[in-house]
Amino acid sequence: MKLLDVSNLHASVETDDGPQPILKGLNLTVKAGEVHAIMGPNGSGKSTLANILSGRPGYTVDGGEVMLGNNNLLNLEPFERAQMGIFLAFQYPVEIPGVSNMEFLKASIDSLARARGEEQPNTANFMRTVRELAGSLDLDPAFLKRGVNEGFSGGEKKRNEIMQLLLLNPKLALLDETDSGLDIDALKVVADGVNRYRNQSNGVVLITHYQRLLDYIVPDYVHVLSNGLIIESGDKSLALELEAKGYAWLT
């Protein structure tokens, strides 16, 4: 079953010098149960892809189509996309001072439930679930009372993103360089979280610079994004080849 279908996507980013084309006719299909790794040199459009799919302001879609199941995502507000099951694990999680993690997560899960016509979870049960999840990711439960990402270390921020992934259980997870800035122990915790999330009905798009993450999260496909287009696709061995040879031989 096709989960995500991106066809002929053209997009540009708004800069001070006017719109700058970034994606130039990108195609990508993710079926349920699959993990796709997107690799590529800096500036090739990897993060732009994640931002466009989730509807971040500041980008313009110049052409093409993005379908999540039967829904055309491009006409939807960011919160509507989230309610349909798109999840972005941020490369740089931002702080929201004074809004506790617990409060934020409850607002999130309630909004998702409301949009899907489901019952909102009971507060006590919800809090228990969150505490257990935090523990399983080596996060001190005290951090749930602190402001969202306020005073978190880089590793804590990334583990927090993964905790949200597990809690919200979206259809499609976009992980934007979740491995950057992590030491090897934290990397394993994050990878373990993503593997727990994976199942036959959801999908993962994993944006990364480094093959080492793929030792822990084994992808079904590896794509090389360069200058706004996917120029090479393969299985996990492609990542190893890139690690050995760099990107130059492809471009």
Partner 1 sequence: MGKSSVDDLVEAGSEYHAGFVTDVESETLPPGLDESVVHFISARKDEPQWLTDWRLEAFAKWRKMREPNWAHVHYPPIDFQAISYYSAPKSQTDGPRSLDEVDPELLRTYEKLGIPLHEQAALAGVVPDPAAVGTPEGTNIAVDVVFDSVSIATTFKETLAQAGVIFCPISEAVHSHPDLVQKYLGSVIPQQDNYYAALNSAVFSDGSFVYIPKGVRCPMELSTYFRINERNTGQFERTLIIADEGSHVSYLEGCTAPMRDENQLHAAVVELVALGDAEIKYSTVQNWYPGDENGKGGIYNFVTKRGLCAGPRAKISWTQVETGSAITWKYPSVVLRGDESVGEFYSVALTNNRQQADTGTKMIHMGKNTKSTIVSKGISAGGSENCYRGLVRISPTAQNARNFTQCDSLLIGDQCGAHTFPYIENKNNSATVEHEASTSKVSDDQLFVCQQRGIETEQAVSMIVNGFCKDVFRELPMEFAVEAGKLLEVSLEGAVG
User: In the complex with partner 1, which residue's Cβ is closer, 105 or 191?
Assistant: 105
Residues numbered 63 to 92 that lie near partner 1 (CB under 8 A) are 77-79, 82-83, 86-88, 90
Subset of 151-180 contacting partner 1 (CB under 8 A): 164, 168
User: Are the C-beta atoms of residues 179 and 206 closer than 8 Å to each other?
Assistant: no
Contact predicate 213/187, CB 8 Å: yes
Cα–Cα distance for residue pair 174/213, rounded to 1 Å: 15
- Please state at what angle helix 154-168 crosses helix 123-136, rounded to 10 degrees: 130
Q: Contact with partner 1 (CB under 8 A): which of 96, 166, 231, 240? A: 96
Give the nearer residue to partner 1 in terms of CB position, either 91 or 226. Answer: 91
For CA atoms 44, 45, 47, 49, the dihedral sign is: negative
- Which of these segments, 94-102, 151-159, 197-205, 239-247, binds partner 1 (CB under 8 A)? 94-102
The distance of closest approach from Cβ of residue 215 to partner 1 in the complex, given in angstroms and rounded to an integer, is 28
Dist CA 42 CA 93 (whole Å): 20
Q: What tokens does 121 get? A: 């979870």
Min dist CB 155 to partner 1, Å, is 19
Q: Which is nearer to partner 1, 80 or 215 (CB)?
A: 80
d(CA 153, CA 218): 27
Kindly state the smallest distance separating residue 242's Cβ from partner 1, in Å.
29
Query: Of residues 131-150, which lie at the interface with partner 1 (CB under 8 A)?
Result: 147-148
Cα(105)–Cα(121) distance, rounded to whole angstroms? 11
Written as six digits, the tokens of 35 are: 């993990």
Q: Return the CA Rg of the chain.
A: 18
Of 19-27, 102-110, 175-183, 197-205, the segment contacting partner 1 by CB under 8 A is: 102-110
181 binds partner 1 (CB under 8 A): no
Give the interface with partner 1 as residue ranges (CB under 8 A).
Answer: 54-58, 77-79, 82-83, 86-88, 90, 93-99, 103-104, 106-108, 111-112, 115, 123, 147-148, 164, 168
